[in-house]
């Protein structure tokens, strides 16, 4: 394949946000596959540090697809796209700090969100068979969410936990700096529909952020979030 072709995904957010799914070619080699030809030398070195081939492909595939998508917006080659980091260490375009993107990957799939107008965040998680969500509940769930989950059956508990996890991660990634107090101080359960509703109060750094759960492959949960105020309206 000449490059990894991301799949466009529908969402209920602002029309300036484009959302894409990546399906990773685990049978491809980062060294000689055209799918990874646009990676920089630094990116190849970073990919080479992964011990597992699958992890290297996830990183390299996500970065290659991101380069191709951003190149279309900037009208440059994928190799010409340059990245930098903001004051919080969040990746951004060196060519345009006002042009925002965010990525996430797990299992066989990744997500990319791009907007020329506002900050965006995404998260996708693969459901792990036999995973004990209670083991990390103190770090990820509000006490009211734990109480609500305990009243559900085992299958619903697992699905709802991952819904909560991806929603909180997407929200936090959108703020840039994230919420200092931790994910357990955000409450998004119970879920009623695709729109993420923050319950038990909205932290100050989340007042300008909205989010929606999106359709994900079987066995995955995913969410996209965005700032409601465009860059041009901020002071």
Give the pLDDT confidence of 109-151 residue by residue, as tens digits.
Answer: 999 999 999 999 999 999 998 899 999 999 999 999 999 999 9
Residues 172 and 178 sit within 8 Å (Cβ to Cβ)? yes
- Contact residues for 107 (Cβ-Cβ < 8 A; gap 6+): 126, 219, 220
pLDDT at residue 150, as a whole number: 96
DSSP 8-state code for residue 134: G
Q: Determine the average pLDDT of the residues in 211-215.
A: 97
Residue 70 has pLDDT above 70, yes or no: yes
pLDDT at residue 158, as a whole number: 95
Picking from 73-82, 88-97, 119-128, 157-166, which range would have the lowest pLDDT averaged per residue?
A: 88-97
Q: Determine the average pLDDT of the residues in 89-114.
A: 91
Asked if domains 7-117 and 123-233 share a fold, the reply is: yes
CATH of domain 7-117: 3.90.470.20
**How many angstroms from the chain centroid is the CA of residue 189?**
19
Q: Determine the average pLDDT of the residues in 81-105.
A: 87
Burial call 173-204: b when 16+ CB within 10 Å, e when fewer: bbbbebbeeebbebbbbbeeeeebebeeeeee
For the stretch 9-52, pLDDT in tens is: 999 999 999 999 999 999 988 888 888 999 999 999 999 999 99
pTM above 0.75, yes or no: yes
Position 55 confidence tier, pLDDT thresholds 50, 70, 90: very high
Residues paired with 109 in a beta bridge: 23, 106
For the stretch 150-209, pLDDT in tens is: 999 998 999 999 999 999 999 999 987 776 667 888 999 999 999 999 998 888 888 899
Tokens (6 digits) for 83 = 């990245």
Position 232 confidence tier, pLDDT thresholds 50, 70, 90: low
pLDDT at residue 87, as a whole number: 81
CA distances from 106 to 73, 142, 222 (A): 26, 24, 11
Domain ranges of the chain: 7-117, 123-233
Q: How far apart are the first and last CA of the chain?
A: 44
User: What gap in Å lies between CA 46 and CA 222, rounded to an integer?
Assistant: 26
Helices (H), 4-117: 41-48, 53-74
Q: For 123-233, which CATH superfamily applies?
A: 4'-phosphopantetheinyl transferase domain (3.90.470.20)
Position 96 confidence tier, pLDDT thresholds 50, 70, 90: confident
pLDDT at residue 181, as a whole number: 65
User: What gap in Å lies between CA 33 and CA 85, rounded to an integer?
Assistant: 28
Residues 171 and 143 sit within 8 Å (Cβ to Cβ)? no
pLDDT at residue 99, as a whole number: 87
Q: Determine the average pLDDT of the residues in 84-92.
A: 85
């Amino acid at each position: 394949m000449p490059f990894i072709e991301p799949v466009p995904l529908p969402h209920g957010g602002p029309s300036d946000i484009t959302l894409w799914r990546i399906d990773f070619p685990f049978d491809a080699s980062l060294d000689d596959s055209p799918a990874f030809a646009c990676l920089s030398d630094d990116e190849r070195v970073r990919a080479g540090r992964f011990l597992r081939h699958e992890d290297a492909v996830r990183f390299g595939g996500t970065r290659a697809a991101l380069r191709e998508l951003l190149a279309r917006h900037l009208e440059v080659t994928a190799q010409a796209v340059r990245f930098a980091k903001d004051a919080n260490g969040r990746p951004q375009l060196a060519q345009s700090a006002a042009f925002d993107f965010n990525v996430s990957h797990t299992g066989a799939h990744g997500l990319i969100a791009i907007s020329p107008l506002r900050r965006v965040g995404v998260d996708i998680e693969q459901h792990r068979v036999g995973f004990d969500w209670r083991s990390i509940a103190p770090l990820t769930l509000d006490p009211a969410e734990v109480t609500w989950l305990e009243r559900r059956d085992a299958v619903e508990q697992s699905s709802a936990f991952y819904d909560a996890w991806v929603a909180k991660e997407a929200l936090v990634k959108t703020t840039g700096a994230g919420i200092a107090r931790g994910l357990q101080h955000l409450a998004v359960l119970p879920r009623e529909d695709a729109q993420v509703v923050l319950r038990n109060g909205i932290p100050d750094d989340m007042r300008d952020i909205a989010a929606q759960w999106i359709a994900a492959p079987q066995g995955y949960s995913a969410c996209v979030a965005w700032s409601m105020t465009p860059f041009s309206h901020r002071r």
